[in-house]
Amino acid sequence: SAGVVKMQPKAEELKFVTKNDGYVHIHPSSVNYQTRHFESPYLVYHEKIKTSRVFIRDCSMVSVYPLVLLGGGQVHMQLHKGEFVISLDDGWIRFAAASHQVAELVKELRCELDQLLQDKIKNPSMDLCMCPRGSRIIGMIVKLVTTQ
């Protein structure tokens, strides 16, 4: 009898999907080109170029909570087939939440962070770590991201 060992994809076979371009590949000059496994299926990137195919460069893996808390667009929550789903970018990026309470808390934390950043823009001299509200919000985000 013989077994089969699942092999990681080759660097040139690894591909990701973007909303506007479909499949993209990590550029061979990128530091992450030889990375064959990412803990999270989400990457952020700085540059996208098209040569023989569409490539991304200057990319980093990002996990779910930082993406939800710091990603662009509005955060929405809905019940879908018995699961509470948090969505970004008009539903293109979707995450299943462990419970309704978790989904609500993450959405509320994002709203609080957005408001805190708006306050900082209005008052650039405000020290976010010294004000009680800012330090609580930042502390909660750090705890959430480091313990996920």
Same domain as 85, residue 43:
no
pLDDT of 100: 87
102/49 same-domain check: no
Domain count for the chain, please give it: 2
First-residue to last-residue Cα distance in the chain: 41
What separation in angstroms does the CA of 123 have from each of 22, 110, 133, 141?
Answer: 40, 20, 15, 21
Are 100 and 112 part of one and the same domain? Answer: yes
Q: What angle do CA 38, 54, 24 make, to 5 degrees?
A: 30
Per the structure, the complete domain to which residue 95 belongs is given by: 65-146
124/85 Cα distance (integer angstroms): 35
User: Looking at residue 134, what is its pLDDT?
Assistant: 93
Dist CA 38 CA 20 (whole Å): 22
Residues 44 and 21 placed together within one structural domain of the fold: yes
5 part of a folded domain: no
- Write out pLDDT tens, residues 3-44: 666 777 777 788 899 888 899 999 999 988 988 888 888 899
| 54 and 83 assigned to the same domain | no
Shared-domain flag, residues 77 and 98: yes
